[in-house]
Amino acid sequence: MKYLLCLISLAFVLSCNSNTKDNAKQEEKSEMKVYDMYEPSEMAILMNEFYAINEKIKADILAGNTPEEFPLDFMKIHRAELSDFKKRNAKFEAFSKLYIEAEKEVFNTESSFPVEERFNNAIGVCISCHQTECTGPIPRIKKLLIK
Ligand code: HEC
């Protein structure tokens, strides 16, 4: 059922495309087209914000800085409205919580794990949730990982 929904969403909003062979190509298409075709959902806008914030955190880490202030915007994942055809289900809620916990670890200055590892772990949760919901943006999200 979920795959069906994802496919429907592919037809309507190119941003939420499913696991087809040419994900990369569709990803490009979605980036170009989504805004002039449809009003993105609150969640879609938030996700793009998350992407941008994480790009900054990554740059900060690579520059040798220690991320110190947890961006409260991340908490909006619990409230933002999804596209009409999608529902918040138990899995979504569970992954949202996991994501917030993983992101908080990035800002835990007492942690004994390297910050690169904690950051990649948080991005890993983005990817895990997308594997259950919408696989389309995964190639793009993977670019956030610190190699
Ligand atoms: C709890 C599950 C979950 C987590 C965690 C999650 N996402 Fe998403 N993401 C979604 C869903 C569901 C959508 C589709 C939203 C909609 O259409 O309303 C989405 C959409 C997106 C989109 C497409 C937005 C658009 O323009 O349509 C991008 C990019 C994205 N997410 C990136 C990320 C990044 C980066 C992270 C981690 C920082 C992340 N996501 C974490 C579930 C998640």
Could you tell me the CA-to-CA distances from 75 to 8, 39, 53, 107 in Å, in that order?
Answer: 28, 22, 13, 14
Share of the chain above pLDDT 90, in %: 65
* 26-80 confidence digits (pLDDT tens): 445 455 544 456 789 999 999 999 999 999 999 999 999 999 899 999 999 999 9
98 CB burial (10 A radius; 0-12, 13-18, 19+):
middle
Q: Does any ligand 1 atom lie closer than 6 A to the CB of residue 71?
A: no
Query: Which residue puts its alpha carbon closest to atom 12 of ligand 1?
Result: 133
21 assigned to some structural domain: no
56 assigned to some structural domain: yes
Q: Please, are residues 83 and 43 in contact by the beta-carbon 8 Å criterion? A: yes
108 assigned to some structural domain: yes
Domain extent at residue 88: 38-142
81 assigned to some structural domain: yes
Q: How many other CB atoms sit within 10 Å of the CB of residue 94?
A: 12
Q: Does any ligand 1 atom lie closer than 6 A to the CB of residue 124?
A: no
Q: Please, are residues 111 and 70 in contact by the beta-carbon 8 Å criterion? A: no
Q: Does any ligand 1 atom lie closer than 6 A to the CB of residue 61?
A: no
90 assigned to some structural domain: yes
33 assigned to some structural domain: no
47 assigned to some structural domain: yes
Q: Does any ligand 1 atom lie closer than 6 A to the CB of residue 10?
A: no
Report the distance separating Cα 95 and Cα 101, nearest Å: 10
Q: Is 82 helix (H, G, I), strand (E, B) or coil?
A: coil
Tokens of 56: 């900054």
The residue-averaged pLDDT of 109-127 equals: 97
Name the pLDDT band for 116 (thresholds 50, 70, 90): very high
pLDDT winner (highest mean) among 1-15, 18-32, 62-76: 62-76
Tell me the CA end-to-end span of the chain in Å, nearest whole number: 35
Q: Does any ligand 1 atom lie closer than 6 A to the CB of residue 136?
A: no
Full-model pTM: 0.81
Ligand 1 pocket test: pick from 96, 130, 142 the residue with the most ligand atoms within 8 Å of its Cβ.
130
122 assigned to some structural domain: yes
Report the distance separating Cα 32 and Cα 77, nearest Å: 24
Q: Please, are residues 102 and 95 in contact by the beta-carbon 8 Å criterion? A: no
Question: How far, in whole angstroms, is CA 49 from its chain's centroid?
Answer: 9
Tell me how many domains the chain contains. 1
Number of residues that make up the chain: 147
